[in-house]
C-alpha cells in the first residue's frame, strides 16, 4: 500500500510513441478531451447514427458530413468567442424555417439572441419576418461567399 501511495496524484500514460518526448505525449494527452467532445457532439447533436446505415460508402459519407458540419459549427463557436454552445447554436439554427404566406412571400417565425449573434457574425439578418423567394436566394448566395 505504501508503494502505491507515492504515486497518488499521478497519471500513468501508456503509448506506442516511444520516440516522442514526455512533453509531446502530455500535449497530445491533454487534447484527448477535445477529441472526446467531438465524438459526443457528433453522436448527440448531429445524430451520427451509423448503425442505421447499411453500405460502407454511406457510413463514410455520413461521417464526413457530420465531421464537416462540426468543423463549421466549431469555427462559428470560436468566432463568437464561446458566447453560445454548439448545442444552443444547432438548436436555434434547426428552428429557422418559413411558411409560405401567399404568392412570393414567406414568413419566418423564429428568432432569438443566438440567431442574432450568428447573423451579425455572418452578415445574415435572421430577424426579418417576411421575405420574398428572391431575398432568400440572395442570402443563400451571400452565405456561400462567407
Q: What are phi and psi of 63, to 5 degrees?
A: -65, -40
Determine which helix (DSSP H) or strand (DSSP E) holds 99, and give its type and residue range. strand 98-102
Query: 110-137 pLDDT, tens per residue?
Result: 999 999 999 999 888 888 999 999 999 9
Query: 44-78 pLDDT, tens per residue?
Result: 766 655 566 567 777 778 778 888 888 888 899 99
Residue found by looking up cell 411558411 in the block: 99
- Range list of H helices, 45-132: 56-79, 86-94, 113-122
pTM above 0.85, yes or no: no
Residue 45: name the closest of 3, 90, 83 by CA.
Answer: 90
Average pLDDT over residues 70-91: 91
Amino acid at each position: 500500500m505504501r508503494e502505491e501511495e507515492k504515486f497518488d496524484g499521478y497519471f500513468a500514460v501508456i503509448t506506442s510513441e516511444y520516440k516522442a518526448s514526455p512533453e509531446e505525449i502530455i500535449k497530445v494527452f491533454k487534447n484527448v478531451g477535445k477529441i472526446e467532445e467531438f465524438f459526443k457532439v457528433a453522436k448527440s447533436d448531429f445524430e451520427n447514427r451509423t448503425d442505421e446505415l447499411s453500405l460502407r460508402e454511406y457510413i463514410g459519407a455520413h461521417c464526413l458530413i457530420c465531421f464537416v458540419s462540426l468543423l463549421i459549427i466549431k469555427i462559428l463557436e470560436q468566432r463568437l468567442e464561446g458566447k453560445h454552445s454548439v448545442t444552443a447554436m444547432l438548436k436555434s439554427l434547426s428552428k429557422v424555417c418559413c411558411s409560405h404566406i401567399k404568392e412570393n412571400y414567406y414568413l419566418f417565425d423564429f428568432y432569438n439572441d443566438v440567431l442574432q449573434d450568428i447573423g451579425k457574425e455572418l452578415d445574415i439578418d435572421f430577424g426579418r419576418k417576411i421575405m420574398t423567394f428572391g431575398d432568400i436566394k440572395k442570402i443563400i448566395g451571400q452565405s456561400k461567399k462567407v
